[in-house]
Amino acid sequence: MKKDFVIKGHIIWSDSLKHLNAIPHGYLVCEGGLCTGVFRALPDRYAHLPLKDYGGHLIMPAVYDLHLHAPQLAYCGMGMDLELIDWLNAYAFPEEAKFADLDYARRAYTVFADTLRSSYTARFCCFATMHAPATLLLAELLEASGLRGYVGKVSMDRNAPADLCEPSAEAAARDCEQWIVDMQARFTNIKPMLTPRFIPSCSDALMERLHKLADKYGVPAQSHLSENHDEIAWVKALCPTSKNYASVYDHFGMLSANAVMAHVVYPQDEEITLLKQRRTMVAHCPASNTNLRSGIAPVRRLLSAGVRVGLGSDVAGGESIDMLRAAAEAIQASKLYWRLIDQAAPALTFPEVFYMATKGGGSFFGKAGSFEPGYMLDALVLDDRALRTTCDLTLPQRLERALYRSAEIKLTQKYVDGTPLFEEPVTKP
């Protein structure tokens, strides 16, 4: 049973793409793990609840990582001189093959779960590998971490190394179905997600079977879309009758409000329309797009068209699991898009990216990412006192500064579903 309580501090949250709410020395009320509201003065009806006063700390909704690869953390920050396909062959595939060994998987996934727990992220969508036992182990560790999210057993039956390529579409689907059943029986907070790696590695027969599993078990889907020029050309060669890359996923029922497509760096106008119509979530991964020389995603075009957009770290294409840093990088990438590609596409603003990192991305998980009444209470308590200044800053200015300088601030506490994840020292009166 979750306890009811009140948090006091400098509270900031979004209720729309353009608008930030900021209440200094405000009161955030949690009842049953849900936000009741934020108040300038605590109403008498909540005076009996336990109160945690964080003084001058910033309190914001937790952030959501819509795209990362759990087995890749071990080599995060390496191979950044390669493009996508070469990088997969040189780093990703050799590392992922190691997860056939459960002892190795336990060591690697323990590091991943510990790292993600101590980060700013509360909920996530992550890729594992094609190994069902290791993926169940990852889910077990994440379930124990107190986090919430989706884990995907990767599906590949072509154009992959022999030790990562499933023997047939039928065998891959059987393995995936048993894994889904096991996940749904064992875990409450960590849920299964269909994960065809990308179209080049999945035959039509496999995609058809995954679609049937999605319908049968009601599980969401995740994959990669239009990340790299070579990848797009590869899909065109494999699917010559398709209109475009997105239409291939759509043909197999993989575009919906229950799906996340990562990257979308080079979408055609027809693809943007399709993503909007299907209400598919796009995971914008600015660091990975830069590191692997993929390009600059047209996020302004996507938002203006009404496409849902959140953020992803894309570890290990992205070099950091820090989602505040990813938010700052999204702003920086959009400035380059405006300057170098399309001056009719204004750069993203801080309130817009803050929304994408919180309520925008959080919408994939339900009512998450805001302090509006009825939202799940996912919150970060940030101590920015190390960022000394002589300026008289507003709360939004302090938060913007924290995004750009996230490595210099301290995460004092993280709440997920109203539960604090970290122990805190007892404050004496």
pTM of the model: 0.97
Taking CA atoms, 117 is separated from 32, 135, 213, 265, in Å, by 22, 18, 30, 29
φ/ψ of 12, rounded to 5, equals: -135, 135
Q: What is the pLDDT of residue 278?
A: 98
Taking CA atoms, 421 is separated from 117, 320, 350, 412, 414, in Å, by 8, 21, 27, 10, 6
Tokens of 353: 């990216």
φ/ψ of 406, rounded to 5, equals: -60, -30
* H or E stretch at 7: strand 5-14
Tokens of 98: 């190691």
Q: How far is residue 22's CA from residue 330's CA, in Å, rounded to a whole number?
A: 22
Domains with residue ranges and CATH for the chain: 5-61+369-420 (2.30.40.10), 63-365 (3.20.20.140)
Q: Which residue has the tokens 């998450």?
A: 368
For the chain, 429 residues long, give each residue's pLDDT as a single digit of tens: 468 999 999 999 999 999 999 999 999 999 999 999 999 999 999 999 999 999 999 999 999 999 999 999 999 999 999 999 999 999 999 999 999 999 999 999 999 999 999 999 999 999 999 999 999 999 999 999 999 999 999 999 999 999 999 999 999 999 999 999 999 999 999 999 999 999 999 999 999 999 999 999 999 999 999 999 999 999 999 999 999 999 999 999 999 999 999 999 999 999 999 999 999 999 999 999 999 999 999 999 999 999 999 999 999 999 999 999 999 999 999 999 999 999 999 999 999 999 999 999 999 999 999 999 999 999 999 999 999 999 999 999 999 999 999 999 999 999 999 999 999 865 543
